[in-house]
Amino acid sequence: MQFTDADLQAAFRRALRTIVILALIGGSLFALIAGWQSGVYVLVGAAVSGVGLYEWQQLVALINARLDNQKTPRSTGFLLVMFFLRLGIAAVVLYATLKCLHGSLYALIAGLALAVAALTIEAVRLVRS
């Protein structure tokens, strides 16, 4: 099985698209069942999941470029600073969401778990092909 860097990037893009679709469906369901605050919790969790997956995509692209002795798309320092900056912003967003809204904690966990679900779907898709 030939799995190239382009295939990996395509898998990451499909996983991000899956997160968006599942977030819209899950957010709507939680909003209908448990109230609009829980729907927002799902969307916030999904946003944090999506940003985390995007960051990993950037880091994997950097590592693959280094391993292949190619020019890196961005500087390593910039990428690491942005990684930790977005990590801090995600922590602040999660804290503010928990402090200000009073929805179901399960909705937030469901939103955060969307990255795992999307990557699992992509892994199954790759194994089956």
Per-residue pLDDT at 1: 64
Per-residue pLDDT at 60: 86
What does the alpha-carbon distance between residue 65 and residue 33 come to, in Å, rounded to a whole number? 46
Domain range for residue 22? 5-124
Per-residue pLDDT at 58: 87
50 in a domain, yes or no?
yes
Per-residue pLDDT at 3: 80
- Within 10 Å of residue 83's Cβ, how many Cβ atoms? 15
120 in a domain, yes or no?
yes
129 in a domain, yes or no?
no
35 in a domain, yes or no?
yes
What does the alpha-carbon distance between residue 75 and residue 80 come to, in Å, rounded to a whole number? 9
Q: How far is CA 54 from CA 58, 83, 88, 99, 105, in A?
A: 6, 10, 15, 26, 24
Beta carbons of 110 and 2 less than 8 angstroms apart: no
List the chain pLDDT tens, one digit each, 129 residues.
688 888 888 999 999 999 999 999 999 999 999 999 999 999 999 999 999 999 888 888 888 888 888 877 677 888 888 889 999 999 999 999 999 988 889 999 999 999 999 999 999 998 887
Provide the domain count of the chain: 1
Per-residue pLDDT at 49: 94
56 in a domain, yes or no?
yes
